[in-house]
Chain A
């Protein structure tokens, strides 16, 4: 329960029309895209500008009330899950594109602007915003900042951190500061970079300046089938060894292909053991030259079918299959868990073998869809909750993430640690590493009120178990997909 005086102070901070306090309204904020973790907040505030965000944060700070900033709630690690008796600061009403500057190739945005709307605003100038998480139609730039979001094209173009120049941030005590600046040149240590990917634990981002890129002259996309997953893996290695940096390289195994094809009819081959989507972009002459090389490499490794997208519509179809793959798994399994881990690219074959063995041992199927170019795996653990397989599935999924660490990789490539993986952090980092991160957190937020309990392990959290998966309301409505 929130103290009445605090409630009143928050209402006057954001205005009476910008508060949700009824139980039904509050319930729609109880989880993000990771629906197994739920907590109804005490209050939701929806400020209309930076000053109101700061005012609300100041109230929380003064009264010791925990708060959680929230964008579209598409996150997959429980990073935006509310805190009991805490406040959710929704940034959904801060959704203006404040400026698009074609000369200096940048845009200034409020945090509630969706990722795709940045590119829409930039498009008339022949520019676009590069990071493209698959949820880009609904996920917001504020959330992208919190998670340092990637996307299929980050192999060549990098992540959110590589594209954000500056941010206006409300610190956990309510002070408004600017991190970063008008160029990549820094005034001292890169606080901007520390804040990016901090999962909402260091403050609330209220204004973001991003770089815009010139739309590439050409885009070439192919879909190639292979007789085995290792053969497809060798193609990826050879492409990289040839000095080619593709815009994207995505791999799917047979289970994932079947699911995707059943769901959207993207033209995938139903019985192929593995398929690759390779996309090159850039200046026409070079792109063409390298595309020929990629085709040759595919042939050399026994490619059984090579389909080249003839136009933008065909390209979109190939991508639709890939991007729908996760949701599509619902067609071949009653329930599933999406995992996100990273291994050094050269260990892809090994990790896939191990995952298959672990799946066999657990008696569960695992479908694999992944960003092969950068070793970012998204194993989908299939199970039937009604058959009592949930616990085994969760265990297998966690073991897969920790296997990635064992092979020299990471617990997460893009979904974040949040609530979901905080307890696995000691697998990847030592006591001193985590203590140092906690010191950094304390410098920003000495009272630990800003999205507490996320990212770093806590005894309380790590003693609890996540609940049963239930689809997110937006997921059921087909607005978001699980990636």
Chain B
């Protein structure tokens, strides 16, 4: 394989994005701010790089409707600042948002943070999208209203697609009010104790928005009114036998959680895993994994393992009925994806329909599309 310097195209609007794909041939790598460059399968070299960092800005924001349309290259961090001015937010807190991750990149990688327990992931918050297909076709789906069942929901197809089906150019998101108050409770304890207490929390009517294991602690967060969260935090502390954190301590505890997820040691592999919540502690506690974090209500966790233990981790997760994908690949041939989905044939058929020449982001799904024309 020859390595030549790829041509970098940086469109700034939908028309430019369309032209970038319509006017080029051959493989294209779509790149945002690069915060997930090491996730999933290694992108194969491509003669063209489509850089989305010029596709920025809010296109439509009417705070009273609690929806916002943005260009997909907009960093979520910047979007949140603008929304905060109106007392609103995107209820989404993936760790790499702090490093400047874009809306499109976060959608394409199906990323999520602790708030997924309360609000779901971007697949639950994205209500419309404009996509440019490999042949330059511009396709919209969804719209600007939260409730909408007209046509196929193509936004879902893009969520977790790693760019393989099209370039996400514009996105419409559902917003939530910034809660008047939030409080967190922490209990330092072994993982087994955390799992027991988490089950008690989930069985209560205290409605946590986040419930995580991180760094030897169980962390629980509630959001709501000042008085209400005070009452609930106290009840949570009693239930878990933990303590209510001060504002500063809470901020530090959640920052530490994000750091564990987002800044692992460079010589380690990182696996993102998903499984039934009750099985997560067993996987986080796997002897091969260290520094694991995980949502004890969502069943979504992140473990750091030695490169030599990657296969064993995938196998353990598969045996538990879960899903796994690498988020950091230290040098060496490491299998990025755990067991492929049973509907991989449908994914291949979609790839053949939407990108028949296999132009977009080859490599990200390793060998999933080899049964079709996608890699030919």
Q: Are B165 and A189 in contact (CB under 8 A)?
A: yes
Q: Could you list 11 examples of A-B contacts with CB < 8 Å? A: A187-B338, A187-B340, A198-B152, A244-B177, A342-B145, A371-B147, A417-B149, A417-B151, A421-B150, A439-B353, A456-B151
Q: Which residues of A contact B124 (CB under 8 A)?
A: 158, 161-162
> With an 8 A cutoff between CB atoms, is B288 at the interface?
no
Contact yes or no, B145 A283, CB < 8 A: no
Residues of A participating in the B interface, judged by any CB pair closer than 8 Å = 102-105, 126, 147-148, 150, 154-155, 158-159, 161-162, 169, 171, 175, 177-179, 181-194, 196-198, 214-217, 237, 240-241, 243-245, 282-283, 285-286, 289-290, 342-346, 371, 374-376, 408-417, 421, 425, 428-430, 432-437, 439-444, 446, 455-456
**Does B179 lie at the interface of the complex (its beta carbon under 8 Å from any beta carbon of A)?**
yes
CB pair A177 B342 closer than 8 Å: yes
Q: Which bucket holds chain B's interface residue count?
A: 35 or more
- Once bound together, how far apart are the Cα atoms of A68 and B255, in whole Å? 51
Chain A residues with CB below 8 A from B368, complex form:
188
Mask, B328-358, CB within 8 Å of A = 1, is 0000000001111111011101101110000
Q: Which of A184, A285, A414 has the most CB of B within 10 A?
A: A184
A158-B124, A188-B365, A416-B149 known; A344 and B137 CB under 8 Å? no
B residues sitting closer than 8 Å to A (CB atoms) are 62, 64-67, 87, 110, 112, 116, 120-121, 123-124, 131, 133, 137-141, 143-162, 164-165, 176-180, 199, 202-207, 224-225, 227-229, 231-232, 272-279, 298-300, 321-323, 325, 337-343, 345-347, 349-350, 352-354, 365, 368
B145/A375 in contact, CB under 8 A: yes
CB-CB under 8 A from B123, the residues of chain A are 184, 186, 190, 193
Smallest Cβ-Cβ distance to A415: which chain B residue: B149
Enumerate chain A residues within 8 angstroms of B337, measured Cβ to Cβ: 187-188
**Given A440-B353, A455-B151 in contact, is the A190-B346 Cβ separation under 8 Å?**
no
Q: A289 with B227: in contact, given A184-B120, A215-B205, A243-B178 (CB under 8 Å)? A: yes
Q: Which residue of B lies closest to A347 (CB)?
A: B65
Q: Are A175 and B149 in contact (CB under 8 A)?
A: no
Complex interface: chain B residues within 8 A of A104 (CB):
276-278, 299
Residues of chain B lying within 8 A (CB to CB) of residue A444: 346, 349
CB distance A430 to B152 under 8 Å?
A: no
Whether A216 contacts B354 in the complex (CB less than 8 A), given A104-B277, A181-B322, A187-B340, comes out as no
Known: A183-B299, A185-B300, A186-B160. A194 touches B154 (CB 8 A): yes
Once the chains are docked, how many angstroms separate the CA of A320 from the CA of B164? 48
Q: Which residue of A lies closest to B274 (CB)?
A: A185
Chain B residue numbers with a CB within 8 Å of A456 are 151
State which of B143, B206, B365 has its C-beta within 8 Å of the C-beta of A283: B206
The answer to whether A439 and B228 touch across the interface, beta carbons within 8 angstroms, is no
Provide the bound-state CA to CA distance between A429 and B206, in Å: 43
Per the bound structure, the CA–CA distance linking A274 and B146 in Å amounts to: 24
Name the residue among B160, B179, B279 with the largest chain A CB count within 10 angstroms.
Answer: B160
* Chain A residues in 8 Å Cβ range of B161: 188-189
Partner of A178, one of B112, B343, B354: B343
Cβ contact within 8 Å between A193 and B323: no
A428 cross-chain contacts in B, Cβ below 8 A: 143, 150-151
Residue pair A184, B322 in contact (C-beta under 8 Å): no
Let me know if A183 and B87 touch, CB within 8 A.
no
CB nearest to A288 among chain B residues = B228
Contact call A243/B87, Cβ cutoff below 8 A: yes
Determine the chain B residues whose CB is within 8 A of the CB of A437 once the complex forms: 139, 141, 151-152, 154
In the complex, what residue of chain A is closest to B338 when comparing beta carbons? A187
Contact B178 A183 (CB under 8 A): no
Q: Report the nearest B residue to A175, measured CB to CB.
A: B345
Q: In the complex the two chains form, what is the Cα distance from A343 to B67 in whole Å?
A: 12
Q: Which residues of B contact A374 (CB under 8 A)?
A: 145-147
Complex CA–CA separation, A177 to B229 (angstroms): 43
Question: Which single member of A408, A432, A443 contacts B137 (CB below 8 Å)?
Answer: A432
Bound: A441/B353 CA distance, A:
10
The reply to whether B64 and A241 form a contact with Cβ atoms under 8 Å apart is yes
Identify which of A179, A215, A440 gathers the most chain B CB atoms within 10 Å of its CB. A440
A311 CB to closest chain B CB (Å) equals 19
Tell me the bound Cα distance from A408 to B338 in angstroms: 42
Contacts of B276 in A (CB 8 A): 104, 182-183
Complex formed: what's the CA distance from A470 to B343 in Å? 41
Q: Which residues of A contact B340 (CB under 8 A)?
A: 187
Contact of B343 among A177, A243, A408, A411 (CB under 8 A): A177
Among B225, B272, B323, B339: residue with most chain A CB under 10 A: B225
Given contacts A187-B337, A198-B152, contact A410 B323 (CB under 8 A): no
How far, in whole Å, are A60 and B295 apart by their CA atoms in the complex? Answer: 44
Which of chain A's residues has its CB closest to B354's CB? Answer: A439
Q: Report the separation of the CA atoms of residues A237 and B66 in the bound assembly, to the nearest whole angstrom.
A: 11
Lowest 10 CB-CB distances: which A-B pairs, in order? A185-B274, A193-B156, A286-B228, A243-B177, A183-B274, A436-B139, A183-B299, A217-B205, A443-B349, A410-B148
Q: Please, which residue of chain B has its CB at the minimum distance from the CB of A286?
A: B228
B237 to chain A, nearest CB (A): 15
Minimum CB–CB distance for A95 against chain B, Å: 24
Chain B residues whose CB sits within 8 angstroms of the CB of A182 once the complex forms: 274-276, 279, 299, 321-323
Q: Is the CB of A186 within 8 A of B225?
A: no
What distance in Å separates the Cβ of B354 from its nearest Cβ neighbour in chain A? 6
Complex: A411 Cα to B147 Cα, angstroms: 10
CA distance A58 to B199 in the complex (A): 44
With A171-B346, A374-B147, A414-B149 as contacts: A186 and B110 at CB distance below 8 Å: yes
State A343–B62 Cα separation when bound (angstroms).
13
A416 to B231, CA, bound (A): 43
Could you say which of A184, A190, A290, A412 contacts B225, with CB atoms under 8 Å apart? Answer: A290
